[in-house]
Amino acid sequence: MTKKLSYVLIGDDVAVKGVSSRKECLLTGLWSWSRSVERYGAKGDVRLLRRKEELEEYDVCHVNLTGGNFALLEYVGEQLKNSSTKLMANIDFTIANLDNFQYPTMLKTVFKHVDIPFHVEPKGARCLELLLDRKVYVMPHPCDIECLDKHKKEEREPYIATFYHRYHPMVNVLWLAQIKVPLYHVLIGYTRGMVPTLPLFDEVFGHIPFMDVVDTLSRAKFALDLFPHPVYGRAVVDAAALAIPTVCSNEIEACRRCFPDFCINPWDVKRANELFNELIKDDDKYIQIFKNAYYAAEYYGYKACYNRLVEAIEDMEG
């Protein structure tokens, strides 16, 4: 029988409001840890906690470490010294953005307070292991695949849903990756930059609510995500859970797991065009690709992620 844990993400007011206000599928990623533990453990919360007596109401406290909250991780660690409550922590971004920490040696100092250090994908975990000189667990943030399943569409519309990433704001490469594909081209998550998108894409969405992203993605014939740095890839997980074949970067861990035949060098735009056009002509392969991805997405589901958390605690306790 799986151990029933209680958990809290020590979040800011954005996280607290974001989780409490969601009535449908919760945004895939950090916030979903609370929901996964709520569903399969004892209790999962997101709260603004600081005091020892409040922290010790939980089996696990979680801090998502950013460049601006080093003091929070150290403070919570001191509060939980000699406590049975475990502190878990991860860095908030890909190792490609490690320069967000001006002094990375300070990571080793603050992670001394952490019982369960983890990263969401293997390359980042290996990097932290080298720096921290200790085991770092690989635990991707959860996705509510059961909820997304309710939003799958049988009928697909003739467009490619393309994901824009503000941490690596490229547009032209995304456009070139589908320039020879006879479908409409939709860009999701665009923030204003140097490159105008009006001549390149048929429709452009900025930062829209998650359920609007789900609706747009669920109706697409294909998706495209060419983020060129090591990430676990929550957009790719969403696409897999919605059974949308996705051409994606081989630096995205979820691409290697869910779409191995669609995993490409993120700069190989010619190959991206070829893959889209091959599947347009082959309905059987199209169906097989999205079926394989749909089942592979279970790796990122709430139950699987909760079980990995329990396994990490059991491993840490020896």
> How large is the average pLDDT for residues 124-153?
96
Residue 13 has pLDDT above 90, yes or no: no
- DSSP 8-state code for residue 28: S
Domains of the chain, each with CATH number or no CATH? 6-144+301-317 (3.40.50), 147-299 (3.40.50.2000)
> How large is the average pLDDT for residues 275-295?
96
Amino acid at 297: A
* Cβ-Cβ contacts under 8 Å for 303 (sequence gap 6 or more): 36, 39, 40
Query: Could you tell me which residue, 179 or 12, shows the higher pLDDT?
Result: 179
Q: Which two tokens stand for residue 94?
A: 């890909």
pLDDT at 97: 83
Residue 228 has pLDDT above 60, yes or no: yes
Query: Could you tell me which residue, 41 or 166, shows the higher pLDDT?
Result: 41
Other beta carbons less than 10 A from residue 74's beta carbon: 17
- For 154-181, what is each residue's pLDDT tens digit? 999 999 999 998 878 889 999 999 999 9
pLDDT at 63: 96
pLDDT at 169: 80
H helical segments located in 93-137: 105-110, 122-132
Helix (H) or strand (E) holding 144: none
Length of the chain: 318
Contacts 24+ apart (CB under 8 A), 150-153: 151/25, 151/214, 151/215, 151/218, 151/242, 152/218, 152/242, 152/243, 153/218, 153/219, 153/242
pLDDT at 22: 65
- For 52-74, what is each residue's pLDDT tens digit? 999 999 999 999 998 778 889 99
Please work out, in degrees rounded to the nearest 5, the angle formed at the alpha carbon of residue 252 by the alpha carbons of 178 and 36. Answer: 120
> How high does pLDDT run on average in the chain?
93
- pTM for the predicted model, two decimal places: 0.94
Of 60, 77, 62, which is closest to residue 111 (Cα–Cα)?
Answer: 77
Residue 115 has pLDDT above 90, yes or no: yes
Of 267, 195, 193, 197, which is closest to residue 229 (Cα–Cα)?
Answer: 267
Beta bridge partners of residue 46, listed in sequence order: 9
* Cβ-Cβ contacts under 8 Å for 241 (sequence gap 6 or more): 143, 145, 148, 149, 294, 297, 300
